[in-house]
Structure 1
């Protein structure tokens, strides 16, 4: 089973697969360096190489080799850390690492397990190889080794389920809600008070990210000089509160605003929560903020149920298909996040298990085939606006499901399998390489 805290991780932008995962891998390799190592070299492949500069993969690997981790690093300290590394060409402990010479972007080869491959080597004083490890960043900050063994905890679930159909059966047999099933399974890793405290911390981090995004202006890094819009949009909406005539669709603008605020923070390298990835990090927080600010059913307890329900759906998608844009396109990122958010909102609004499964299915179904084609290799266009649309689609999906009785033709399992097959059929250039789609039809600067 996959824990809610593996799907929702506090980290930094701009990408969970290209920033968070590589930083984790580099830190893991640093911790395993043999005593006779005096130099480290790193080679990255596939999507990591093609869009690594724009996604800050190079910076993330450097930071990981310096012993930094995504959940604890201060984003404001990154420029000084990188400047010191450039000057010293050392990661400490007498081990040399020159980013300009020792970090290689391999644009022609792929490693066998996943497109997001990384090869770390340690050399001795004579230049001989003393250690070598291969890691893959498979999406959402998850990292696996050369044989695809997971680096996340394995635990025994109280109520295991491996498909949407099995989840429905477990709920029917036990009388538990989706959130209660996921909560019982989380008990295999940690006690209830810790689970609740950590869920509250995740929600607080999501809301704090929105709030910071609403305060910031200027342009985003990366060369395209994309203007941050959230602050100005927020000012317009706040001014409209006093108007005598307000458009009925204004609520959509608020939801879009919340998502844009998060993804502008992500693009700027700020602190975000993978949900389940950084590229789709705005959808779950935006829908939760909508529930908190506009729905009378909101409470912190129901907020926990939202996250637990979303995690149950996200875990199914990850196990049965993928949440990696580099593997299946943006349908695996924004589509998965919308599916999770729709299920979470439906749960918060009192949906039964069939309606929750229906909400998740509707949201995923209407993201099928979405490509991942970031302009300039940056998680900015179309990623930021795409989160706004995903959040609004999630709310529509939850609303449609709540209007029905849960009976529908296309199952969640069927739509997840369709997403997997569609991703397998999709040309590589549309999978987070910036070699197709908008990335080649729109000038980056």
Structure 2
């Protein structure tokens, strides 16, 4: 199957705090509820249970996974639901139970104990696994049972499903590796975004892909705006204060003074940090975010995109479309040949991938050649190899929020550095992606989104 994944799938509008632990489980639970409705068994269901395995069991509470499962069973979709309907959906059930309308139609009573956390049990398909069972009056056998894997970026896979090949047949310019993508660019005299656009148009049409990209960027921009304006302390018990609004106020004041004073410092990097902080604070609060390619790394693509619009002369909406298409083309390579899941590859698979996407995409809109774009993505990924996923208290806050800000700076630096060369370099993007895959396989499980190693066990939660 071709590596190419549509930007409209990679950049999915959802809610925080995690694409793999919140968005994916919500989609899986909703799919299970819809299956019950289609199969005609829903009216016989009296109880539904869910077991969360591996990483979902280890950090599910901090990531709001039980809430997401209950909301998904009730028919809510992460791309258009009210985040307030999801927050607390499980905790509100209590030990006595509460009513949940499965697929928004069939009422059953659920209790908190209907969802169990089993972090020590790891299923072979993926570290993020969950099994849903629907029961009737007879408790001997379930009416229905499905196991789903949340494979990163909000994507889910049902156990036993074959790979989908149909979409690949509709892509006129398929590729599996960066070398193949570069060859297509040279053959047709175009760039990464043009190859991606040709594939997108074959599926969505010209107007469809433009409308989709504009909607994605609008959601990213709204997230940045909301994050820059919202004060307060993030939920979860760590007492992490939102910093983006204060950074914004200071930078606005400084920039006003700079307009009348010569020799003051350039604040573009600090604004870049503020944009990233804004997004990841929104994500940590369970707000509306766009997976890029995950929620834990959601701040990097919008931050670098805002940097482009604010500080690059001539930046425009069409440039943002090229930026998103280029980023999606790079993400497709990582998803196909390694992973974008922190539970599978550590944070190198999330923040490292997002940094590579943003670096290559910024290089593209700054006028880089295909080989310079590939070089920028490689530089960014190379310097995130081995990065662990060790969220303190299982929350996507420490070190995740700051990590997005720093990676945004790395993306800009990688793009600028690549533009000073001619695209010739020793380590290829394909090589660094394969190295990331191997590093993820070698990485101990406790450093892959289980909160059992690294900062997660060395920071006192208070």
Residue 90 of structure 1 corresponds to 100
Residue 160 of structure 1 corresponds to 174
Residue 182 of structure 1 corresponds to 196
Residue 10 of structure 2 corresponds to 7
CA contact (8 A) 2:64 2:87 kept: no
Q: Which runs of 5+ in 1 are unaligned?
A: none
Q: How far is the alpha carbon of 1:153 from its aligned partner? A: 7.3
**Greater shift in the superposed pair: 142-151 or 203-212:** 142-151
SS at match of 1:104: strand
**Structure 1 CA distance for aligned equivalents of residues 101 and 403 of structure 2:** 38
Is residue 2:331 matched to residue 1:314?
A: yes
Q: How far is the alpha carbon of 1:245 from its aligned partner? A: 6.0
Q: 1:122 to 1:401 in 2, by over 3 A?
A: same
Residue 70 of structure 1 corresponds to 78
Q: How far is the alpha carbon of 1:189 from its aligned partner? A: 1.5
TM-score (norm 1): 0.97
SS at match of 2:270: helix
Residue 142 of structure 1 corresponds to 155
Q: How far is the alpha carbon of 1:164 from its aligned partner? A: 0.4
Q: How far is the alpha carbon of 1:81 from its aligned partner? A: 5.4
Residue 386 of structure 1 corresponds to 403
Residue 375 of structure 1 corresponds to 392
- Once the two structures are superposed, what CA deviation does each residue of 1:134-171 show, in whole Å capped at 9, x if it has no partner? 00001000000113645897342110110000000001
Residue 429 of structure 2 corresponds to 412
Map 1:336-375; keep pairs closer than 5 Å: 336-375=353-392
SS at match of 2:424: coil
Q: How far is the alpha carbon of 1:90 from its aligned partner? A: 3.2
Q: 1:81 to 1:431 in 2, by over 3 A?
A: closer
CA contact (8 A) 1:373 1:438 kept: yes
| Aligned with residue 200 of structure 1, among 210, 214, 220 | 214
Q: 1:149 to 1:85 in 2, by over 3 A?
A: farther
CA contact (8 A) 2:67 2:88 kept: no
TM-score (norm 2): 0.93
Q: How far is the alpha carbon of 1:46 from its aligned partner? A: 0.4
Residue 113 of structure 1 corresponds to 125
Residue 51 of structure 1 corresponds to 59
CA contact (8 A) 1:144 1:150 kept: no
**Structure 1 CA distance for aligned equivalents of residues 263 and 75 of structure 2:** 51
Alignment root-mean-square deviation, CA? 1.7
**Structure 1 CA distance for aligned equivalents of residues 345 and 61 of structure 2:** 21
SS at match of 1:90: strand
**Greater shift in the superposed pair: 182-191 or 383-392:** 182-191
| Aligned with residue 232 of structure 1, among 246, 254, 257 | 246
